[in-house]
Amino acid sequence: MRPVSHSRGDLEHNRVTRILRNPRYAGAFFYGRTRFQKKVEGGDRSRDLPRQEWHTLILDAHPAYITWRDYEENLRRLQENAQTCGLEKRCAVREGPSLLQGLAICGVCGSRMTVGYRQRKAGLAPFYICQGPREVDRIEKGYCQRVSGYSLDKAIGALLVETVTPLALEVALNVQQELQSRWDEADRLRRLQVDRARYESELARRRFLRVDPDNRLVAASLEAEWNSKLHALSEAEQNYERQCQTDQLKISTV
């Protein structure tokens, strides 16, 4: 990939996204990925089509920067990240003084807004940007809307000072401690289930290893039992991991 010249501006989010979604970097030739429609007020409007509706897609048409498998993996991760920052989930809090990182929602299209910063004499000045699905604005500007974060954060800060009194803070901390105690107890019980499944799997393994190989009927039965216990252990471990992730998400949102 060639470096972007300074005459074309900074390598911003929408440009990086276009690069990662471009099949040419994976050695593919494609045609008909977008469809243009006439607007009543004049001009054209473009719309990206799903891959199955493209006119042509030829893999390994020319030397690639990345493999097609890596390209597909990049698309999958982009999709997962987009879903992670959807309305149901908060985005990860990153560096910077912004008060609404991962929390602000666009009032125009309802998408989760991201935060950026500009260097000013007084320090970093935040702004919130939505790269949601408003096609017209995204084509013209590369994003849906952009809002200065200074006045917004100032209003949020004043609201927090007014709302978060010592008594309210104490109640919130007590509630969080109570919930944490309940989750710890549930985690202990789930770990006991995993330990029990592991113990039963080990017993089944030992019984199978002690059986006379010539006794095929018993050996087959013990092998089936061992496989069943291994499957139960795997399910218990996976369930434990899922529940741990769910609990961590709940704790972070309290």
Cα–Cα dist 72/59, whole Å = 12
What are the sequence ranges of the domains in the chain? Answer: 6-84, 86-161, 166-253
Max mean pLDDT range (48-57, 119-128, 131-140, 208-217): 208-217
Residue 16's pLDDT is what?
79
Contact predicate 47/37, CB 8 Å: yes
Mean pLDDT (the chain) is 78
Structure tokens at 229: 């216990």
Cα–Cα dist 125/114, whole Å = 14
Residue 132 CA, distance from chain mean position: 16
Cα–Cα dist 113/146, whole Å = 9
Longest dimension (CA), the chain: 85
Q: Over the stretch 96-105, which tens digit does the pLDDT of each residue have? A: 677 887 788 8
**More confident: 209 or 137:** 209
Q: For the chain, what percent of residues have pLDDT higher than 70?
A: 77
